[in-house]
Structure formats: C-alpha cells, structure tokens
Copies of this chain bind each other. A is one copy, B any other.
C-alpha cells in the first residue's frame, strides 16, 4: 500500500500555521480554534468515497466501506493543550487520513475490510480537567454525572461548553453504537518520553498503557520552634515525607518499567523558624502490570506508616485517582513490531506512561495497538515538542504497513 509521508508532514505544518501562534498549538477542545481545525480536516476529505458524521460525544467518524463490514479503526485527536506542540494528537489523525487514502487507491475505493477514521473529542481534558472524554463515551466508561458540572477557569460548565458545539452530554451513551463491527484499533502517537531517543530508535511497538495509582499522602507531626526544640523530641512531618520521597524510588526501581513520582510537597506552617507540623505530598505510581502496581502501592503505604512511626507522626492516604493497566492485543503488538522492523530495521517494545484514547478503546474489548515515534528530548505539551522529519516519514510508512497487516489479520480471525 502506497502512502505519501511528505504530504502528511506538509498537512501538519498547514494545520500548525492555521491553528497555532507564537506560543504553540491552540486547539483546545470545544474552542473556536478546535472547531476551525476540524473544519480544515473535513476539507481534506473532499473527493474521497467516504461517509462522515459526529457521534453523540462529538467524535468525528469517517467511514470507507469495505467488502467486509468488519471495521479497522484508525484514530487519534486533533485537540491540543494550550501552547501545545505540532504533533501531539494531530500526527495520528493525519497519518490515519494518509493511510485511508492508501486504502482507497490500493483497492479502487473498496478495501477488503471497512476502514474507519476517528478524531476523538477532547483527549487532553485541558479545559475541564477530564481527559479521554470522547473515547470514554465510545467505550462506555464515561462518568457523565461527575463531569457535567466541571467548570473551566472562567466558570463555564462542561455541559454548556459541549452544548455550544452541538453535543448533549446526556446523549453520550449513544456514542457506544460506533463500536458496532469494530474489529481492531490502531493509533500512531509521539512517545512524549525519552526512551526511543535514548536507544537511538525511530519507532516502537507499544505494549499497553500503564495503570496509575495517584494519592495524596499527608503526614501530621507537631509544629515546634526551630531554636528551642531539641532534635530528639521533634515530631517532624517533613522528615517522614522526605523518607517516603526517597523510598518510592527504591520501590519502583525493583521493576524495569515502573515509575513513581512525588510531584508536590507542601509544608505547614512552612516558615524558616518552625519544625514542619504537617506535610502534604502527592504520589503517582505507574506500571503496566496490575500486580506490580498494586504491590508498589502497598509497599509505599507500608513504608509511609513505618516512617510516620519513626518520626512519631501519623499519616493519612487519600486516593486522588486510579486506573488499571491496559495491555494491548498481543497479536497486534506482534504486527506492529513487524511493521516497524520492515520500515526501520530495528524495533523496541515499550509501555506508555501517558494515557491515550487507545486505552479506552482497548477497555471496550476491541483489539488495539499503538505505535510510537521518537520525541526529541522527550518533551511534549510544549511548543518545542518535535520529532525529526525522517522519523515522521518512517512513522507514516510503518503505520501504513501495520494497517495493511491488520486488515489481513481481521479477515483471518
């Protein structure tokens, strides 16, 4: 199947010029700039033998009917964070479009399986703090009642922002209908991390998205005067938190792909002349293996209790959020690995730390895999996000091969 990677890169640059400014991409979901990006995308469909519509959650579906109604879905998202990069999300959408064009050409407009392209609505959750909004509606994992009242920084309710774009949150469940005949889902994305760059590899096959345990951990000791309180009688909440900050790294270090982060520490009263009486920290632990993740969480919790006892403090945990690991489909991971190897000569399998719409699709039981292309310096969600053009070209080529292999796999299963 023939694809034209240079056209994809040219289109990405066109989109950047149309929907970005000197600070980066500004395609925040439900904004005018996002609608403009979707309109521009629609204009690229002209002349293609496809049907298109928005589902009840605002996801944009483009369908090229095939000999079989079993559908191969290719997707990603056009929305961006504020001041975002030029590749996050839209690389996947534009590569899916180029792949769909390839299917049209290769099969005179009627491929052996149905090809569907999806531009998910509000992957980033940048405005309302709820990521994967459209894909969760598709998967039936939406949380309408807790989401409808979310507000943006100007106090606008999520429900009202969606309505302005023609989406009624109460009709979200209808989006599940798009699951009909779905046989596989493929998504290309920049890695957003430093692993492939560190290995000197352009492309990787993604094993799945890591599960996340996200907690607030609060140590309570006793505020005391820094001058008059001997070391031996202190109940220093910061000391207990500092021990935990170091221990979570040891715990994660026992597993090759696990990560563990204390991202925020707050001290109370937080003044130079007082022993810390209360220390509030956050913990974010991730792994692809549910048993490992749950073990890490338990180890950290036990360690925090030990440290609290050592410092004569108490500790309280409160879950902020969690999600189970979502492993991708083994047969599709194999196909992805083949496609990468045929294109780049070498391949690496890696889990994804960040979440993606693909995780929601996989949770709906649809065989899923993602392909990653190297990110320079591992940076994304920033205007300096970048990938070498030669790597982008290889990505479009490899994704086309993966789609071809997956179409055959669908017919064989």
Contact = CB atoms under 8 A, between A and B. Distances in A.
A318 interface: no
A246 interface: yes
A272 B284 contact: yes
A216 B271 CA distance: 11
Q: DSSP class of A's interface residues: helix, strand, loop or mixed?
A: mixed
Contacts of A1: none
Nearest to A250: B231
A230 interface: yes
Nearest to A244: B242
Contacts of A194: 228-230, 233
Interface stretch (A99-107, A170-178, A262-270): A262-270
A122 B353 CA distance: 57
Contacts of A214: 272
Contact of A272 (B192, B264, B266): B264
A257 to B, nearest CB: 8
A245 B244 CA distance: 12
Contacts of A225: 192-193, 353-354, 378, 380-381
Q: How many copies does the complex hold?
A: 2
Interface in A167-199: 191-195, 198
A274 interface: yes
A276 interface: yes
B229 A259 contact: yes
Contacts of A224: 378
A89 to B, nearest CB: 15
Given A233-B198, A263-B270, A354-B227, A246 B242 contact: yes
27 contacts: A192-B225, A192-B228, A194-B233, A195-B228, A225-B381, A226-B284, A227-B259, A227-B284, A228-B354, A228-B378, A229-B259, A230-B257, A231-B252, A233-B378, A239-B246, A239-B249, A241-B242, A242-B242, A243-B246, A246-B246, A263-B272, A263-B273, A263-B274, A263-B276, A265-B266, A265-B276, A271-B282
